[in-house]
Every structure is written in C-alpha cells, then in structure tokens.
Structure 1
Amino acid sequence: MSIPRNDYPRPQFVRKEWVNLNGKWDFAFDDRNEGLKKKWYHSFPVEQQINVPFAFQTELSGINDKSFHDVVWYQRKLAVPEGWSNKEILLHFGAVDYRSWVYINGNLATFHEGGNTPFSVNITHLLNWDNEDTVTVRVEDPSKDVTIPRGKQYWHEKSESIFYTRTSGIWQTVWMEPIEKSSLSSIRWTPEIDRGDIELEFEIDGENVSNLSLSIDITFNGEKIISDQTNMLEIYNKRSYNIRNRFTDRSNIHGSGWYWSPENPNLFDVTLTLRKGEKIVDQVDSYFGMRKVSIENGIFMLNNMPYYQKLVLDQGYFPGGLLTAPSEDALKKDIELAKEMGFNGARKHQKVEDPRYLYWADKLGFLVWGEMANASEYSEEAARRLATEWFEVIKRDYNHPSIIVWLPLNESWGISRVAHAKQQQAHATSMYWNTKSVDQTRPVLSNDGWEHTISDICGIHNYRNEEELKQAYKDVESAISTTPANRVIYANGFSYNHEPILITEYGGIAYQVDNTEGWGYSSVRNEEDFVLEYKKHTEALMNSRIIQGFCYTQLTDVEQEINGLLTYDRVPKCDLKKIKEINDQK
C-alpha cells in the first residue's frame, strides 16, 4: 500500500535516512474530553482509522466528518529500523492544528501550540526498541475560540462568505530520522549579491564541538565551485563564501547570470558534512539562491533592478484535502498553471504553505509573499499566539529565495480597531519590527490591504470596477486617500512615506462553469466576458504610473467562492493564453 505524501518533508535540510509515518493511524473523537482522565495514551479506544496527513474533515482522510470535534486522538505503532539502534531518534510533525501532546509508550514526550509550524522531539529515551513502540497524539482545536490564528478556517460548521471548512489535527507529514549525538540542528543562508557572497549561519546540537569539523561543498550546474573545511570553535558560527569569483569556466557565468529570479531560477546545491576526526557524524544536503530584494527611492527592486510584480492570490485549498495537497504534483501544478498565465508570483493567502510548495517555487522561479494565518479577534493572548508562531514561520522558511515579502497581518484581521486603537496599532507595529529583528533581507507589511501603521510596501485591496480603479490610481494622492471597503489606507497617526504602492487584491470576478453555486465581487456569464473583465481590471492597474504590481483574486475557486481563474478542480475557465497575453503587456 502506497504511503500518502511520501515526498521528503524538509527540502532545504535533507538527510538520506528517514521513515515516513503517514498512512493509517487509529483515531478517536473525544467529544466529552475524557481521554486524559481515562489515560487513552495507555489504553487507546480504537474507534476508527484515519489516513494521515489528511484532517478528519477531508475525503482523503477516510472519515470526511465536517462537524465540530474539538478534541481528537491518534495512535500508531513505531517500527524503528534495526540500523538505528545506536542513534538518537527524532520524531517530526510538519503541522498539527492547533495544540498537541505527543506520547511515546504512554509517556509524555512533548507539547506544541500552533497549527501552522513544525515541531520535533527526541524520543530515544522513551523507546523500547521492540517494534511495538507506540506514538499517541492528543489534539485540541477549539472551535469557538476566535483568538486562535486559523486564517480562512471558519468558526461555524458550515462554510460561508470568505471562510472555508476548517482543518483539525495532523495535516502535514509525520516522520522520524536518526542522528548522531552531535549533529547539525539548523542552517541559515543569507545572500549578499553586491559582494557576491553567501553567508552561512549554523547551529550544532550535542557534545563539545571543539573536536568537530564542518566541510561545505557548493556546486552550480554540476560544477563544484567551493569546497571548504573548518574546525568548530563554537556552536554558533557564521561563514561567508564568495560565489562571484569561484567559477572555473567563466563562459558558464557572466554578469548577473547566477542570480535567482522568476526568469532564471538559478540554485546552488550544497552538501554540509560534519566530522569527528575522520568519522562522518552528520551530512545534510541543502541549496540556496543568490537574490536581493530591496526598495530604493520608493521603487521595488529585485537584484538591483525595478521589478513589476504580477501576483495571483492563492488560498492553498484542495478538493479532498482542504489545506493538505493530495500530492506534491498538485502543489507543483498550481505554480505551473500560474506561470502559464503569465503571473510571476503568488500571495499565499492566510496560509503558511507546505515546504514542498516553496521548494517548487524556488525550483521553477515563482515569487511568494509569505503570510501568516490570522486570528479573527484581538486579545493579549491572541497577540502572544500570533507573535510566537510567526517567529517559527520565519525560521522555517527564511532560506527560500522565492519568498520576497513577509506579511504577518491582513485586512485588520485580529486587529479590527487598529484604525484608532493604540494597543492594536502597537501590536501591528510590533509585528513589523519583530519580523525585521529576525530578517533584514525582505520587505515587511504591518497590515496588508488598509489601515497600515509602519510598512515597507503600501498594499491596497480594492474590488471596485475598472473606471474607479483608473481614477483611484492616477496619482499617489488619490491612491492613499481612497477608502476601499470604507477603510482608510493608513491608521490614525501614521502616514504614507514613499513606499511602493501595490494593489494586493482586486478583481474577484465570479464565473460559474460547473455545478458549483457561489459568489464573487462581480460576475459574468460566459468566457468572453470573463476574459474581457480580467483585461479591463488588470489594464487599469498596469496603465497607472504609480502602481508597481498587482495581485489578482484568485487562482482557483474554493468551496462557495467561484472567483477563480481555475475551478476548484484546477480546470481552466478560459484559454489561459489569453490571460497570459494580458499579463505580458507589463
């Protein structure tokens, strides 16, 4: 029986040995919240099975129950390979929504809060090594708590408006791997294209590192350009490698030909080898892209050149799997279809996307705006939850060259009174500065859409018709004085400071081509009108001398929203070449 989602779950930090734990798990609803009292981690009530990593609300899970169950349990046997007996065993979870407790053989191994980010635990000391070890997971996903960062997951059972069916429990790959007592725990690539350097920061877990050495081999198009070995003197270290002058065949590299961009998604492959004497104790494969994102004199720049962003809003929902793509090919196909239409990137909307999507964005050349799933209402606890998980998001995804913008808050979600409330303004501003404190390489928006506090980009959402768009964006003064959705562009006490202006949501044209009934921000009845409306809305923005990019709503239909360029099943609603012809005008 094939294992679902059997692709390697951590594409920028790859070890050869690993075991995928997706597939059939025992599963139980705990609607009375009695599992802890009855110690289900010792005596599990086998009610049914679930197909991990798909949430119980999905068809692909084998359960397909869309009613609310705030507490659920999982359990399965662990068969640790014999060759791992002298190793440390790490158990990894790609994402579990929202709070999770992990038990090994009835003993609590770890707790994690946050539905969008990965976590790991060393389970070596809890194993019996008898092929009868068990892992049990208890998950809480409170249905009515509107201060949890859940993005488009609705807090009512039936989807409506812009909100969709929720995802509870395990929704990304579960897996385990062996490591030695000393191992690499993280790496961080920071490209410096003006110097031609790549900076590497790394962390090592385990014993005293003074007797360890790390070798780094970097290749480009099959040519090894750097081979370096250094002794470890401290756990935290930074190394800088010059890329520009390392190519032996100069005909293979000229000018900016080694930069990463959507047009030329050049990637450097890396192998990092940790040794203790002559013995290899860890080896990790990785990659990086040499690219620079900056804003110069109010102009958005990619690799020191003005760059016009043609983005599509992508909710990242899939028939049968909701937030979990049925396959890696499905993630790749969404990028390929968007590029086929002439888009050079996507704004992943209210979803922290699967790392395999970001891998294909890196490989295929596709810009991504990294966005946090937001809460619906504000509280001090909501602020803590968002900030804590957002740091985990940035750490997970920092190395992806495709991610060019960070967006922690959207449309005042979770900060509904930010236009005037000082506390919520402080939260939005703190999310901006907190992001900057861990990543100086990317622009950050405090609150995309409207009611900005401090932002590197002025992102505006406007679903008005093409004539209104033309008038609104004829000059900067008009743009920043508009009130789309009756919201001011800058919160009280804050003002425009020559940031690049992008229309980061517009369009939303509904066109029903199958039996799905739904809504959009405007509607048409045939393919010809669909293309014409896309053309009119998009050209109104392209012809503006102040707009530096756009993000069309949206890539696909999702449940009751039928404003996609593709259906929910990824069937084009028109000849995609016609969309590309329009997009290629800029």
Structure 2
Amino acid sequence: MTFPAASALDGTYPRPQLVREQWCDLGGEWAFAYDDADDGVAQSWFADGAADRFDRTIVVPFPPESPMSGIGDTGFHPVVWYRRTIGAAELGTIGTGDGAPRVILHFGAVDYRASVWVGGRFVGEHEGGGSPFSFDVTAMLAAEGDRQEDVSVVVRAEDDPADLSQPRGKQDWHREPHSIWYHRTTGIWQPVWLEAVAEVAIERIHWTPDLVAGTVDARIRLNRPAGDAAQLTIALTFDGRPLGAVTVPAVGRTIEATVPLPQQRNGQAYEELLWSPEHPRLVDAVVSVGADSVRSYLGLRSAAVAGGRFLLNDRPYYVRSVLNQGYWPQSHLAAPSVDGLRAEAQLIKDLGFNAARLHQKYEDPRFLFFADTLGLLIWGESPAAYEFTPTAVTRTTREWVDIVDRDYSHPSIVTWVPTNESWGVQHLAHDRRMRDYAAALVSLTKALDPTRPVISNDGWEHVDSDILSIHDYEASGEVVAARYGSASSVEQLFDGLGPAGRRMLVRGERDRNAPVMLTEFGGVSFVDRAHEVDGAWGYSAASSQEDFADRVGALLAATLASPVLAGFCYTQLADTGQETNGLVTDDRRPKVAIERIREMVQGPHA
C-alpha cells in the first residue's frame, strides 16, 4: 500500500496521524429533531420505523445553534436526535472484503453525551463533549446474501445547558451570551466517518522521539491481540529517504518498539531532522500488523524548561503566542471547513506568532495537523467545568486522559494546561481539596506524558507548574514595562498578590527553573463603524484604528523588552461574539495591516 508523505496530505482525513485509505465521510445532510420533552427513547425514535419523527434537516458536523447547520436555533434544547441512512454505494467505497472485513463508525466529537443505534440496534454510548469515540458496526451492516442493504444510523445527543459540572469551556449556560462566554455547541461538531479495518487493527500510535539517544520509541495499541506468530513492522522515511525500520513480535494488545535513527556525523544529520516552527520537518511512518497497514507521521523535537527559559530541542526558545478561541460566527466551535482550519493556522503564522494557546477547547485534530505541517507551537488546554463536585472532577479527568492520549504524538503540542484561572476550582487558595485536585491533574498528566511541561492553573494560584504564567490586563504599556522590567519587580508579584488580586503561588516556593510568561494580556477592543457589535467589549478600548495599533504596540513592546519573561500569549486572535478584542475581526480580517501586526509581535526576539 502506498501512502503520500505528510506534507502531501490535505487534512481531509479526520484522524491525520492514523490514516487508512478505506474510509467514507458521513458529513452532510442528516434528518434532525428536537426532543425537549426527552421522550424519544421511550417512543423508540431509534427504530427503523420512526423516520417520521425527524422533522428537520441539519448539515453535519455543524451544531444546530450555528447558521451553517441550516437550523441556527440558539435556544435551550437539551436533547437532540440525528438520523442518516448509510447506502450500499457508500459501503462500497470503503472496500470491505477479505483485507478489511470489519467496519468502524467513528465520531470526532459529540457534545455532550451520545447514544448511537445502527439499523435500530443499540451499539453504545459516550460521555465527553470533545473526545473521540467509535463502535464496531460490522454485524449491523451484514449483507443479505450478495446484496448490501441500506442501514440507518441514529444518534441521540444530550447537552444540558444548566449542568455546570459538565466541562463546557466558553459555552454559555445563559440563554444569551454574557461577559466572556458565547453560544453553545450542541451535538455533533466534528467529523463522522466509516472506516474498513482488518480483524486485527491498529487503534492508537504514540511516538516518543529521544533526541539524545537518536531513537524513536513507538507504542502501538491494537483492537485485540494479534496472535503468537504476528509481527509489527515500522518503517520511517524522511523526505522520501529511508530513515529507520524495525520488526518485532506483535505480542498482546499494546506493543512497544524502538526505531534507531541513522548515526549522526558532526551533528549535521541531527540538526537537519529536527522539527521547529522555523523548520517543521516531519518524519513519515508506515506501521503494519498482519493485514492492517496505516500511515502516520511524527516530529523529532523535545520540549522542556530549565534556567527560567522554555527549551525547544534543548535550546532556549522565546514563545510568541496568541490566545485562540477556535470559534467562528457561522459554525461556532465546529470548523467551517478544512480550509478554514488551514487558514487559521496560517493566519497565526502570518501575524508573526510562533505559538497558539487553544483556549478552553479540545481542538479538531486536523488543526493540529496544520500546526504540525506549517510549524506552530500549541498549548493544549482543557475546557472548564464551573462547579467543584465529584461529578465535575470525574468528568474533567476522564476526558483529559482521553485527549492526552489522542494528541500525544503531535509535535506541535509542547505544553499541557489542565486548568485555567481557577475556573471550577474557584476557592483553590483556601480549599485543600481543590489544591489537591489541581496538583493531581499535573501529576496525572506527567504520568501519561512525561515529555512536555504542564501548567497547573494558567494565570495565578499555581500549585505545581513547570511554567509560571501570569494574566495581566493592564491597559498601559508603561505600567507593563515597569511591572516586568526587572527580576525584583517580578519577584514582588510572587511574594504578594498578582495583577488580578490573586496569589501567584498557593503551594510551595517558587521554582527558579520555571520560566515566567505573561500568558494573557492585551485584550484591546476596537470595532469600526461598519462592523458594530451589540455589547462590544474588551479589557480596554481603542477609539480608532491608529489608536488600536498604538495601544497594542505599546503592550507588546513592553512585554518583549522584559529581561525576565520567557514568552507571552496575547489576547486574542479573533473577535468572538461580544468580545471585540481580537487582532482580527470574527471573519478573520486584520484590524491593522498584517505587516504592522507582525512587526509588533516579533520585535527584537524574531
């Protein structure tokens, strides 16, 4: 089987680090119904004879609150239903047969709780609004003799807008958006697809490069044990040239293997293979077990902290990041298209940033693919719940584990952020249970992934953070310059209260190896007369385009001039609802010439 190089992929495949040729996208028009009385299960809406219960049409994967869905209803509808017929022609396109006899139904994300029926038969359920799930539906798609019958797929999605123990991020629990929250995203909001696989199939690949040893460690998870005689083969190539290969026995469901890389000569080969934003080099991989063969890729890079600096590939690297909500007015949390995801990553690069903090959202893996291929550092962040209960703790932790597992191998991800601004742990400074929970999330993340720095609580009230991040929406560039202009002035923040009146540390002493970064600042609002927004809002406001440029420029210049800060994250990339504090409008038009923004962002650290 021949696969294209990572650089040649177009990002349409929903799971870009584990690609098979035999798949079919199930996006497009589905039948749809609201179930405000929540009696659909009792009335068997999942049955093949219940098609008349579905009185609307929705375009998947756009949430019903969004215009692109074709519905655009932002009211409270806690339960929704979807229905679609999979035709024989679609099944024919994935080529089930001797080589790939089993069919898997995949969901990228359904917010928040999903139940699925195929051909009227219940196949399973999943809880978690941003994590993927799948079901083996082979038995439900069995052909009648030589003729394949059409079969229904029905999805019930439950998303209670009033449930604050549900990890929801920036999705509002009020009927209309207020403050810094915005319209909800209910139901299917990432791709749905069918895939044909072998009886023994690869489910997950974790790549761990070891730059010092000159090896790549692989952990391969199978859907079932392969048998005593089975072999796992990994072949790595770079720029079309063989880079390394290994064959090991495929024993058990999880197989570990180490692929040696070519011997280095004077360090040249080593440098030529490294991944960075300036040189986003990717190593292509083909992994095979028995009849199953998949395409993957990885980046050779390391991420760490030491001496008060962030280290990329063991060298100090200044982080110039922007906060990205990943929200579009026409499609909400769902991407408007694959091209929209690609354009978003490219826009961030064009504006002069080398990193993005994905704020309060588990992003579509295709965006991570474009970050990998274009060269963009990513901070992966958990959506918050807004109450502290055993249910909220369990839900948040379970989904966080799933996402770290899903995104482990993306070279673009260099930092994990399980908690932000004490959201969901609002009494962190005074409640030991909340401190223990925040610390436990850090330890759990490092147990799952020891290769990346972790921030316990971005912004303030740090418990155990590899990076000491600060949120500061001071409007004056002069004040910012003074506040971060020396080690002694920064020391005062950690000895007392931070800019938001919160303690910066709530457990232990300050780790001098931990970099200090200003990870939310700016937030300057500007809206021109042609694009006025009701309730337009920011942390400060500009009166004109030139005033906007001056204010943003002064804040960025003060931050870049700090001898203490190891990086920053500017708030924010795009206007989002009533938050009009983006560098670009909600339709991604720069408020100031791109070249000028790039100049301000890069400064002397370019």
TM-score over 0.5 (shorter chain): yes
Q: What pairs with 1:21-32 in structure 2 (closer than 5 Å)?
A: 21-32=26-37
* Number of aligned residues: 573
Answer yes or no: is the 8 Å Cα contact 2:68–2:331 preserved in 1.
yes
Per-residue CA deviations over 1:158-197 (Å, capped at 9, x if unaligned) read 1121001000000000001111111112111001111221
Range with greater deviation from structure 2 (524-533 or 18-27)? 524-533
Pick from 114, 118, 122: which aligns with 1:104? 118
Pick from 445, 448, 468: which aligns with 2:479? 468
Counterpart of 2:56 in structure 1 is 48
Pick from 89, 95, 99: which aligns with 2:103? 89
Find the residue that maps to 1:534 and give its secondary structure. Answer: helix
Counterpart of 1:205 in structure 2 is 223
Q: Give the C-alpha shift of residue 272 in structure 1.
A: 1.3
Counterpart of 1:192 in structure 2 is 210
Q: Give the C-alpha shift of residue 115 in structure 1.
A: 0.1
Q: Give the C-alpha shift of residue 312 in structure 1.
A: 0.3
Letter in 2 for 1:117: S
Answer yes or no: is the 8 Å Cα contact 1:209–1:235 preserved in 2.
no
Residues 1:122 and 1:448: Cα distance change in structure 2 (over 3 Å): same
Task: Work out the CA distance in 2 between the residues paired with 1:177 and 1:234.
Answer: 23
Answer yes or no: is the 8 Å Cα contact 1:556–1:568 preserved in 2.
yes
Q: What pairs with 1:115-130 in structure 2 (closer than 5 Å)?
A: 115-129=129-143, 130=148
Counterpart of 2:73 in structure 1 is 65
Task: Work out the CA distance in 2 between the residues paired with 1:226 and 1:142.
Answer: 50
Task: Work out the CA distance in 2 between the residues paired with 1:41 and 1:255.
Answer: 56
Per-residue CA deviations over 1:376-420 (Å, capped at 9, x if unaligned) read 111111000000000000000000000000001100110011111
Task: Work out the CA distance in 2 between the residues paired with 1:228 and 1:195.
Answer: 16
Q: What pairs with 1:433-448 in structure 2 (closer than 5 Å)?
A: 433-448=443-458
Range with greater deviation from structure 2 (540-549 or 402-411)? 540-549
Find the residue that maps to 1:210 and give its secondary structure. Answer: coil
Task: Work out the CA distance in 2 between the residues paired with 1:562 and 1:386.
Answer: 29
Range with greater deviation from structure 2 (398-407 or 215-224)? 215-224
Task: Work out the CA distance in 1 between the residues paired with 2:448 and 2:11.
Answer: 32
Counterpart of 1:144 in structure 2 is 162
Answer yes or no: is the 8 Å Cα contact 1:472–1:482 preserved in 2.
no
Task: Work out the CA distance in 1 between the residues paired with 2:386 and 2:569.
Answer: 23
Pick from 497, 504, 509: which aligns with 2:524? 509
Residues 1:6 and 1:359: Cα distance change in structure 2 (over 3 Å): closer
Counterpart of 1:520 in structure 2 is 538
Question: Is 1:160 equivalent to 2:184 in the alignment?
Answer: no
Task: Work out the CA distance in 2 between the residues paired with 1:216 and 1:224.
Answer: 11
Q: Give the C-alpha shift of residue 251 in structure 1.
A: 11
Counterpart of 1:8 in structure 2 is 13
Task: Work out the CA distance in 1 between the residues paired with 2:155 and 2:567.
Answer: 44
Q: What pairs with 1:122-521 in structure 2 (closer than 5 Å)?
A: 122-129=136-143, 130-206=148-224, 208-245=226-263, 254-275=269-290, 281-464=291-474, 465-473=476-484, 474-475=486-487, 476-480=490-494, 481-491=496-506, 493-498=507-512, 499-513=514-528, 514-517=531-534, 518-521=536-539
Counterpart of 2:565 in structure 1 is 547
Counterpart of 2:3 in structure 1 is none
Q: Give the C-alpha shift of residue 113 in structure 1.
A: 0.3
Task: Work out the CA distance in 1 between the residues paired with 2:14 and 2:372.
Answer: 15
Find the residue that maps to 1:346 and give its secondary structure. Answer: strand
Q: Give the C-alpha shift of residue 509 in structure 1.
A: 0.5
Q: Give the C-alpha shift of residue 124 in structure 1.
A: 1.3
Task: Work out the CA distance in 2 between the residues paired with 1:288 and 1:294.
Answer: 18
Find the residue that maps to 2:272 and give its secondary structure. Answer: coil
Q: Give the C-alpha shift of residue 144 in structure 1.
A: 0.5
Q: Give the C-alpha shift of residue 233 in structure 1.
A: 3.5
Residues 1:208 and 1:552: Cα distance change in structure 2 (over 3 Å): closer
Per-residue CA deviations over 1:278-320 (Å, capped at 9, x if unaligned) read xxx1110000000001112332111011011000000000121
Per-residue CA deviations over 1:426-465 (Å, capped at 9, x if unaligned) read 1111111110110000000111011111111101100012
Find the residue that maps to 1:134 and give its secondary structure. Answer: strand
Per-residue CA deviations over 1:13-41 (Å, capped at 9, x if unaligned) read 00000011111111000001110111111
Task: Work out the CA distance in 2 between the residues paired with 1:369 and 1:581.
Answer: 23
Find the residue that maps to 1:209 and give its secondary structure. Answer: coil
Residues 1:127 and 1:350: Cα distance change in structure 2 (over 3 Å): same
Find the residue that maps to 1:485 and give its secondary structure. Answer: coil
Task: Work out the CA distance in 2 between the residues paired with 1:505 and 1:167.
Answer: 25
Range with greater deviation from structure 2 (291-300 or 109-118)? 291-300
Q: Give the C-alpha shift of residue 366 in structure 1.
A: 0.3
Answer yes or no: is the 8 Å Cα contact 2:245–2:259 preserved in 1.
no
Q: Give the C-alpha shift of residue 231 in structure 1.
A: 3.2
Find the residue that maps to 2:212 and give its secondary structure. Answer: coil
Residues 1:179 and 1:255: Cα distance change in structure 2 (over 3 Å): closer
Find the residue that maps to 1:120 and give its secondary structure. Answer: strand
Range with greater deviation from structure 2 (104-113 or 564-573)? 104-113
Counterpart of 2:7 in structure 1 is none
Answer yes or no: is the 8 Å Cα contact 1:100–1:112 preserved in 2.
yes
Range with greater deviation from structure 2 (199-208 or 539-548)? 199-208
Answer yes or no: is the 8 Å Cα contact 2:78–2:158 preserved in 1.
yes
Answer yes or no: is the 8 Å Cα contact 1:452–1:494 preserved in 2.
no
Per-residue CA deviations over 1:470-499 (Å, capped at 9, x if unaligned) read 2322223123234222211112x4332221
Answer yes or no: is the 8 Å Cα contact 2:226–2:250 preserved in 1.
no
Q: Give the C-alpha shift of residue 335 in structure 1.
A: 1.6
| TM-score (normalizing by structure 1) | 0.95
Stretches of structure 1 lacking an aligned partner (at least 5 in a row)? 276-280
Q: Give the C-alpha shift of residue 6 in structure 1.
A: 8.9
Task: Work out the CA distance in 2 between the residues paired with 1:253 and 1:184.
Answer: 34
Q: Give the C-alpha shift of residue 466 in structure 1.
A: 1.9
Residues 1:6 and 1:471: Cα distance change in structure 2 (over 3 Å): closer
Find the residue that maps to 1:353 and give its secondary structure. Answer: coil
Per-residue CA deviations over 1:110-136 (Å, capped at 9, x if unaligned) read 110000010011111233434321111
Task: Work out the CA distance in 1 between the residues paired with 2:142 and 2:247.
Answer: 38
Task: Work out the CA distance in 1 between the residues paired with 2:83 and 2:16.
Answer: 27
Letter in 2 for 1:305: R
Counterpart of 2:87 in structure 1 is 79
Find the residue that maps to 2:600 and give its secondary structure. Answer: helix
Q: Give the C-alpha shift of residue 244 in structure 1.
A: 4.1
Task: Work out the CA distance in 2 between the residues paired with 1:207 and 1:421.
Answer: 45
Counterpart of 1:532 in structure 2 is 550
Counterpart of 1:278 in structure 2 is none
Task: Work out the CA distance in 2 between the residues paired with 1:259 and 1:198.
Answer: 13
Q: Give the C-alpha shift of residue 541 in structure 1.
A: 1.4
Question: Is 1:35 equivalent to 2:40 in the alignment?
Answer: yes
Answer yes or no: is the 8 Å Cα contact 2:11–2:369 preserved in 1.
no
Answer yes or no: is the 8 Å Cα contact 1:317–1:558 preserved in 2.
yes
